[in-house]
Structure 1
Amino acid sequence: MTHGGRHTSRRRPGRAVTLGCLLALVSAACTGGPEDTQQSGQDEDRGPIVVASGLDVTGSGSVRQQLIEEWNRRHAGSKALQAKLVELPGGADQQRSQLLGALQSGSARYDVVNLDITWIPEFAEAGLISPLPVAKTGAADDADFIRRVHDTTVWKNRSYARPFNTDVGLLYYRPDLLTNADIELDRQPTANWTWDQLYSSVKTLGLNPVRRDERAGWTTQLKQYEGLTVNTVEAFADAGVELTDSQGRYSSSAGELKKGLDALLDRVAQGRVQPAAITSDETASLTDFAEGRAVFLRHWPYAYGALESLMGEKPYAVNRLPGKAVLGGQNLAVTAGSAHADDARALITFLTSRESERCLLDAGFAATRASVYGSTAKPCWPRVAAALRPAGDAAEAAATEKGTPKGQGPEARAAYIRILGAALTEAVQRPRTPYYGAFTQVLQSHVYALLTAKRPETAEAAEELDAALREVFAGR
């Protein structure tokens, strides 16, 4: 599919008195009384803080919208501090094009943009988003963000955003099918499986699918879109192949690329991948697994909740992805053209608070803060939790009914959260470059051609890919 700072003169929003203080940056005084909501006509004319974001894929009833509404309730006395969520249609590529066009032309007034983590260098380099105030970079509150997740906000040693929701590849599997075949895998939350173990399990199961309706060893997203880039980068990372340095300069070679391509082809062949994976995105691969056409599935965290309604009585479980897993997710940044950047940063601080991050985790997203995965995590905002509860109550009620998958109760949920937190601490990034859009299209084109070739030749494919990537990362 696939994560703003605060001000030195402002405490974290959350109490009624904070409203007046927030307005101190744009008004003459801050007294904390009711009269503080009476702003000048100029302030009231500013209208809402507009947040542009992609669609919520969790099916949670839009936790992002619920968090915006919680902010608005806490600032009900000020028209200037009300926020509005604008959800952009289409896939990631379409959303990126819409945001680039709107910010470059000024055709839409966005104050906060929820950017895919791979877009941060491009938007920062183009001057479309504002760096965080230097005085707040590295503040104590930032230290609670998972380090590798927070690193996605940085470009050229400046932080341009705060992590909102993150993502990481996970491995879902059918424990009943493994047990029936007497396959013993360490299923503890701390277990680190290897691809060789997965290959061995698939061989023991005797799986060798030719058609889509036959059960495969595993499935994933190999359609020519961003999912293919993610799977390729994970295979490359496992083979020790790094495409760029920290400054976005190309740092690989044809020989290195061949190692990565060979690793990807091994996953397809030795893993006995579902034939439909070559045309599968997140939805299609999730469906194939849920309907029994694969024993293992590489997918994102939101699949954990989605499978609960898709699997019926069939059990499923989750573990860390063998080898390296790629980070996904979105980060919140203030646009360079925002007329009230201070208020926009305050909103971002609220949306990425410990309580808000817990709401995101409860709704099916992966949270960006380490504390959310610990025993002392702060609970979700009560009114947001209540808004999300209908889905949670239904799941809890279903867990007590006869025929519900074994192990999908509180203990399994707690184990899943531990697995997710651990996976995020070791995840890898896709290349950090302002030319990411061109990079991912070139990579997808070459890799897809290799995957669909009758006799794939990785040495030749690596030479061609190396030449193409050198052009891309040079900005040509």
Structure 2
Amino acid sequence: MVRRALAALATLLVAGCAGLADSGTRSTVGSDGTGPITLAIGRDTTAYLRPLLDRWNQAHPDEPVSLLELPEAADEQRAQMVANLQAHNDVYDVLALDVMWTAEFADAGWIAPLDRSLFPLDKLLKGVADTAIYRDRLWAAPYTSNAGLLYYRSDILKKERLNPPKTWAELREQATRLSAKYHIGGYAGQFLPYEGLTVNFAEAVQSAGGSILSPDARTVTMDLGSARAALDFLVGGVKEGWIPREALTYKEEESRLAFQEGRLLFARNWPHAYGPAAHSKLAGKFSVTRLPGLNGPGSSSLGGYNLAISAFSKRQKSALDFIRYFTGLDNERLVLTEGSFPPVWAELYDDPELIKRFPYLPALKEAIVSARPRPVTADYNQISLLISSAVSGALTLDKPVDDTVADLKQGLGEVIQFGG
């Protein structure tokens, strides 16, 4: 597995040399290129978008934006974008990038740098703007933020006179006892081997007081104690049954549906799952809080999307104008009210009217501000593949926890050393 990761990493390094060479000298988006543009974004985020895009199109009939829906899974979105950009195809104008892809796409020369003075970065939530900056240049505009939350059946906990769990021990006890009593699954996250599993494991490590890599991704900082505690928490849940085996096939949508349909007592998911649940048979029967941790409230991975301009777009002026409009305060409010996605403007989290409508906003703001960004590296995809594959082997009980953690640390070290 490590050899395959290293080989893929070598290909990326060679292919990315040209992009890295000019990433510090390329000029920002200019004033040329107007006309119809496309927005490429994962289809799990698009249900609310069309009315918002219609507002732009009505005001800019000569520069309409078309929605280009990519696959739901983040890994598949990235693969489709990469294939298009490697071919220097101009079919994409604006790219909705997972915050972890910004460095990779900038390093490869696939996106155009932006003039940071055009964006109100100081008005955004703490840490959000950093996800769009690579080598001291702005490469995208923050569009949505994200932090994992614990969804729980408030009706059942209220009936049992219990508070939502703040620690793993409390989660384990409640999930074990109440799932048997009410005949539903105990807890699930995103446990299929893909980027979502990497995020769930990273959150568990952080919530045990540890980390995996240094912020610049040049050093393996994962200590065996916190990593073992994190993996024991997840693997123990599978062995003991309070994490259903079915959860090992879950991505975001599967875990959302399982909770929304009443098949789970607890679920880890992103805030976008709140809106659909609030309009389902579960309305009034659930709530959200911060993720639990080893000894108290845990820490989420910082997520979200940044909007970038393809370096091969022929309509970069229109793309830039659209991004400035679409990340503005008025539209960010609609991102929350119409899509249930976390906006990036800090003031929206303190708006009394919005808090009344979205009572989870204070908890979400706390979760985002306390979240940790994943390592900023052009080679993040290879690191994520290595982590998710290793953790999946432990969750399916194919490999002991101790061996998994030791081999993962060694593998990460080899990848980093090779990339250095």
When the two structures are superposed, what TM-score results if normalisation uses the length of structure 2?
0.82
Cross-structure match for 2:39: 51
1:159 and 1:171, CA in 2 relative to 1: closer, same or farther beyond 3 A?
same
- Equivalent residue of 2:90, what SS? coil
Structure 1: state its 5+ residue gaps. Answer: 1-22, 27-42, 187-191, 380-409
After TM superposition, the structure 1 = structure 2 runs for residues 129-278 of structure 1, keeping only pairs within 5 Å, are 129-133=111-115, 136=117, 141-183=120-162, 185=163, 193-202=166-175, 205=177, 207=179, 214-253=183-222, 255=224, 257-265=227-235, 272-278=242-248
1:429 aligned residue (367, 373, 376): 373
The DSSP-based 3-state class of the residue aligned with 2:97 is strand
Partner Cα distance (1:89, 1:450) in 2: 27
Is the alpha carbon distance of 1:299 and 1:58 closer, same or farther for their aligned partners in structure 2, counting shifts above 3 Å?
A: farther
| Deviations 1:9-56, CA, capped at 9 Å, x for gaps | xxxxxxxxxxxxxx9x45xxxxxxxxxxxxxxxx7xx53133222214
Deviations 1:304-345 (A, max 9, x none): 111134435771122222201122221001222233433322
Deviations 1:398-434 (A, max 9, x none): xxxxxxxxxxxx84x3422222222222112223221
Matches within 5 A, 1:269-348: 272-312=242-282, 315-322=285-292, 323-348=298-323
Deviation of the 1:167 alpha carbon: 2.0
**Bigger Cα Rg:** 1
Q: Between Structure 1 and Structure 2, how many residues are aligned?
A: 383
Alignment of 1:51-90 (within 5 A): 51-57=39-45, 59-60=47-48, 63=49, 65-76=50-61, 79=62, 81-89=63-71
- Whole-angstrom CA distance in 2 between matches of 1:260 and 1:176: 29
Letter in 2 for 1:301: P
Name 1:100's counterpart in structure 2. 82
Which of the two has greater helix per residue?
A: 2
Name the % identity.
33
TM-aligned CA distance change 1:279 to 1:315, over 3 Å = same
Distance 1:300 1:58, change over 3 A: farther
- Which letter does structure 2 place at the counterpart of 1:296? F
What amino acid maps onto 1:173 in structure 2?
Answer: Y
Cα distance in 2 between the residues matched to 1:319 and 1:269:
26
What's 2:336 paired with? 361
1:406 corresponds in structure 2 to: none
Q: TM-score, normalised by structure 1?
A: 0.73
Unpaired stretches in structure 2, ≥5 consecutive residues: 1-29, 293-297
Describe the shift of the 1:252–1:260 C-alpha distance in structure 2 as closer, same or farther (beyond 3 A): farther
Give the distance between the partners of 2:319 and 2:232, measured in 1 at CA: 46
Provide the rounded CA distance (Å) in 1 between the counterparts of 2:352 and 2:122: 16
Q: State the distance in 1 between where 2:280 and 2:139 align.
A: 38
Classify 1:414/1:349 alpha carbon distance in 2 versus 1 (closer, same or farther; 3 Å).
same
Q: Give, in angstroms, the shift of residue 346 of structure 1.
A: 1.9
